[in-house]
């Protein structure tokens, strides 16, 4: 359709396409070397897989299997994840527009599609692809905005796509084996510069899209939903169509055996944003869910802390400027600014506020608690004063129960699914036999497990711990007052606690050692450790990451004092 060269034989411009995808002259039936590789990437709108045409040496698959590329697999994964997110309440725009455009951009940038050059360079390259679609008519790669605008004009993607021809299939004589066309290539090449796609990276894509849309789901929540099974991740390949056979090296790509780690998904997302040359993300303002003021409110509620503490978190946020739009909004590619972990940041702010008001040195907070207890005993009118001790006991109990449940669930987790996986056809029967035995044993011992049925997966919930003010046992602290901890000075409320201890005097270089500080439980007060532990549970990350953010906040907060101190020290040394 778009091929305008003149035929070498008859000089006509009257082209058609052979079954092999080659242009042939309708006048003289001359078949050219030029191919138009077409594939229907209509996975996004419908999941029918169309066969991909290959070069001359296309091998017919007789049993209805199709040839598929790794990135098509990932495309399916993303589709499933986007659907799940939509079911959780995310706006449909995420799936239909944002995510798929990010994906297309990625495919183009990583030269797996939408580009002039082939992605795979092998000995057997049969032809050079000359895609001639509208999109690539100009030699420059289109920007994301361009793609976004295109998607609005076209309904589906049927006409528009083109794939680079990774023409060669590794021949059967080599030992590498995969159900996909380019499985072995995918794993072999050093694609660091091109940001090779992995399963954890699918979550990076999701998070990136969520962030773009400023949806009220933090990264830790997203990962928690994955673990709880609300978002497909583990065993998502079982939803691949029958014709897409998964075996051999594909398993290494699509079968994960570990849960994604926050840090990994986070960093990959930023790498991705930079790789895709994305512009500045939409602004995170103080009306956004991800703004520290909002997140702090949520976490305060979940941690069963008094609402009054919110004033304090807002004050800290304001004082050190971490509520500013420019600080919070993501600017891809900007290496100088520290990337913001919204959830961890909010948790850390709360920890700092607790340190400000209660000191948390394993003495002072209990002292304050005793005073509050005395007051509460003698004076029952007016709201109760917040007692750290009571709060600690209530929260610790719930935390222990939940942690225990979580640990047991982790131990009982079933990683395998019904779809059998085998590395090669040779061990297929062995795999199937094993699977059958596993199922038998599960049945046999399942019956002996007693009435304890496997709990259905919990309904997705934003809150893991909840406290109700209606409970008469006083186990909800939201309405408690901070009066026992505060004093008025010059018309302003300040903390009675005059002291503060810094988590660290000097920050490490994060780029060198990965952390701003190094957290060791034994070096810090138990109360501090407990508070870190609480948020560590809620966010499902290691306490050390929250500790890092706490250090960062403290250094901003006490910047002047520290600076003076350091200056003084250097003066002395001279």
Partner 1 sequence: SSHEHKLNFRKSKEACLSYIQDALLQKQWKRAAEFLTCYVESLEKDYSRELIGPSEMIWRIGTEILWHHSQSSMKEFNCFMEQMKTLGVKRYLKVCLEHVFHLLCNGQIDEAYQNLSLAESWRFGEQTAVQDKEMKLIEAYRGLLDYYRWYKQKNILLEHSEDGFSDLAVEQEMHGYFRKAAVNLKEIIKIPGVWDVFVKCYVDLLEFYGDHNEARQVLNEYAYNSKFPANPNAHVYLYQFLKRQGESKKSLISALKILHDIVPSHELMIDFNTMLQKSKKRKKRRLGLEVIFAALDYAGWKENAKAWSCLARQVKQIVISEKHLDWIKQEWNSRKDWWPAFHFSRYLAKRNWQENKSLSYEKALVAGILLGKDCKYFRYVSHQGCKAQLKRFRMLKKFVNRHNPVYLRISG
Q: Tell me, residue by residue from 203 to 242, as one string, x for binding to partner 1 by CB under 8 A and - for no binding.
A: ------------------------x---------------
465 binds partner 1 (CB under 8 A): no
424 binds partner 1 (CB under 8 A): no
251 binds partner 1 (CB under 8 A): no
Question: Nearest distance from residue 442's CB to partner 1, in Å?
Answer: 5
What does the buried/exposed string (b/e) look like for 328-355 if buried means 16 or more CB atoms within 10 Å of the residue's CB?
Answer: bbbebeeeeeeebbbbbbbbbbbbbbbb
With both helix axes pointing from N to C terminus, report the angle between 309-320 and 342-358 in degrees, rounded to the nearest 10. Answer: 110
| Interacting span for partner 1 (CB under 8 A) from 28-36, 153-161, 384-392, 540-548 | 540-548
Match 């969520």 to its residue by tokens: 210
| Interacting span for partner 1 (CB under 8 A) from 134-142, 287-295, 404-412, 556-564 | 404-412
| Interacting span for partner 1 (CB under 8 A) from 104-112, 131-139, 446-454, 462-470 | 446-454
397 binds partner 1 (CB under 8 A): no
Which of 5, 263, 408, 499 forms a contact with partner 1 (CB under 8 A)? 408
Q: Which is nearer to partner 1, 33 or 263 (CB)?
A: 263
Residue 26 per-residue DSSP state: T
403 binds partner 1 (CB under 8 A): yes
Question: Nearest distance from residue 249's CB to partner 1, in Å?
Answer: 16
190 binds partner 1 (CB under 8 A): no
| Interacting span for partner 1 (CB under 8 A) from 39-47, 264-272, 362-370, 412-420 | 412-420
Q: Which is nearer to partner 1, 188 or 432 (CB)?
A: 432
Q: Which is nearer to partner 1, 415 or 563 (CB)?
A: 415
Q: List Cα–Cα distances, 123 to 166, 167, 188, 347, 535, in angstroms.
A: 11, 10, 15, 54, 54
d(CA 475, CA 466): 11
Q: If phi over 0 gives left and psi between -120 and 50 gives alpha, with beta otherwise, what is residue 359?
A: left
The tokens for 318 are 């304001």
Q: Pick from 117, 118, 130: which is nearest to 168 by CA? A: 118
| Interacting span for partner 1 (CB under 8 A) from 66-74, 158-166, 254-262, 376-384 | 254-262
The tokens for 192 are 């660091």
Q: Which is nearer to partner 1, 416 or 520 (CB)?
A: 416
382 binds partner 1 (CB under 8 A): no
Which of 437, 505, 513, 566 forms a contact with partner 1 (CB under 8 A)? 437
- The count of C-alpha atoms lying within 13 angstroms of the C-alpha of 391, restricted to the half-sphere facing its C-beta, is 31
Q: List Cα–Cα distances, 257 to 167, 244, 414, in angstroms.
A: 31, 21, 11
Contact 289, 527 (CB under 8 A): no
CB atoms within 10 A of CB 91: 13
3-state secondary structure of 539: helix
Binding stretches for partner 1 (CB under 8 A)? 227, 257-259, 261, 403, 406-408, 410-416, 431, 434-435, 437-438, 440-442, 444-450, 452, 533, 536-537, 540-543
């Amino acid at each position: 359709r778009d091929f305008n060269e003149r035929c070498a034989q008859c000089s006509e411009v009257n082209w058609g396409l052979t079954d092999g995808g080659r242009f042939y002259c309708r006048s003289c039936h001359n078949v050219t070397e030029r191919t138009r590789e077409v594939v229907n990437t209509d996975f996004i709108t419908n999941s029918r897989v169309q066969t991909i045409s290959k070069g001359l040496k296309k091998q017919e698959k007789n049993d209805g299997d199709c040839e598929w590329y790794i990135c098509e697999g990932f495309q399916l994964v993303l589709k499933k994840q986007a659907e799940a997110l939509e079911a959780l309440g995310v706006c449909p725009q995420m799936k239909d527009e944002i995510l798929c455009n990010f994906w297309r951009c990625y495919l183009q940038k990583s030269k797996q599609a939408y580009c002039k050059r082939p992605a795979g360079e092998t000995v057997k390259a049969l032809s050079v692809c000359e895609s001639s679609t509208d999109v690539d008519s100009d030699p420059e790669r289109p920007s994301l905005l361009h793609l976004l605008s295109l998607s609005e004009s076209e309904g589906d993607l049927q006409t528009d796509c083109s794939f680079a021809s990774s023409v060669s299939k590794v021949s059967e004589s080599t030992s590498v084996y995969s159900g996909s066309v380019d499985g072995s290539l995918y794993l072999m090449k050093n694609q660091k510069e091109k940001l090779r796609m992995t399963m954890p990276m699918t979550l990076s894509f999701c998070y990136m899209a969520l962030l773009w849309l400023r949806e009220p789901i933090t990264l830790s929540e997203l990962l928690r939903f994955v673990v709880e099974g609300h978002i497909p991740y583990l065993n998502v390949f079982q939803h691949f169509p029958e014709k897409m056979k998964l075996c051999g090296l594909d398993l290494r790509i699509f079968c994960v055996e570990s849960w994604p780690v926050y840090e990994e998904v986070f960093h990959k997302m930023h790498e991705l944003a930079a790789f895709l040359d994305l512009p500045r993300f939409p602004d995170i303002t103080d009306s956004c869910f991800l703004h520290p003021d909002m997140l702090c409110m949520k976490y305060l509620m979940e941690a069963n802390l008094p609402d009054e503490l919110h004033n304090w978190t807002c004050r800290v946020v304001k004082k050190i400027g971490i509520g500013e739009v420019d600080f919070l909004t993501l600017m891809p590619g900007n290496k100088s600014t520290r990337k913001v972990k919204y959830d961890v940041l909010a948790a850390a702010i709360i920890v700092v506020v607790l340190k400000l008001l209660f000191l948390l040195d394993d003495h002072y907070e209990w002292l304050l608690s005793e005073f509050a207890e005395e007051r509460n005993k003698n004076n029952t009118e007016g709201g109760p004063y917040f007692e750290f001790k009571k709060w600690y006991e209530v929260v610790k109990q719930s935390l222990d129960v939940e942690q225990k449940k979580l640990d047991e669930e982790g131990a009982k987790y079933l990683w395998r699914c019904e779809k059998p996986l085998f590395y090669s056809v040779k061990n297929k029967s062995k795999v199937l036999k094993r699977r059958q035995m596993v199922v038998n044993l599960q049945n046999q011992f399942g019956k002996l497990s007693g009435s304890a049925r496997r709990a259905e997966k919990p309904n997705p919930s934003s809150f893991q711990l909840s406290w109700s003010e209606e409970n008469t046992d006083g186990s909800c602290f939201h309405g408690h007052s901070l009066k026992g901890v505060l004093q008025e000075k010059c018309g302003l409320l300040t903390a009675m606690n005059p002291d503060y201890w810094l988590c660290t005097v000097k920050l490490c270089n994060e780029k060198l050692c990965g952390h701003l500080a190094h957290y060791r439980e034994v070096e810090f007060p138990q109360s501090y450790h407990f508070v870190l532990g609480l948020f560590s549970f809620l966010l499902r990350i290691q306490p050390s990451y929250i500790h890092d953010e706490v250090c960062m906040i403290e250094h901003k907060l006490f910047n002047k004092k520290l600076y003076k101190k350091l200056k003084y020290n250097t003066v002395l040394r001279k």
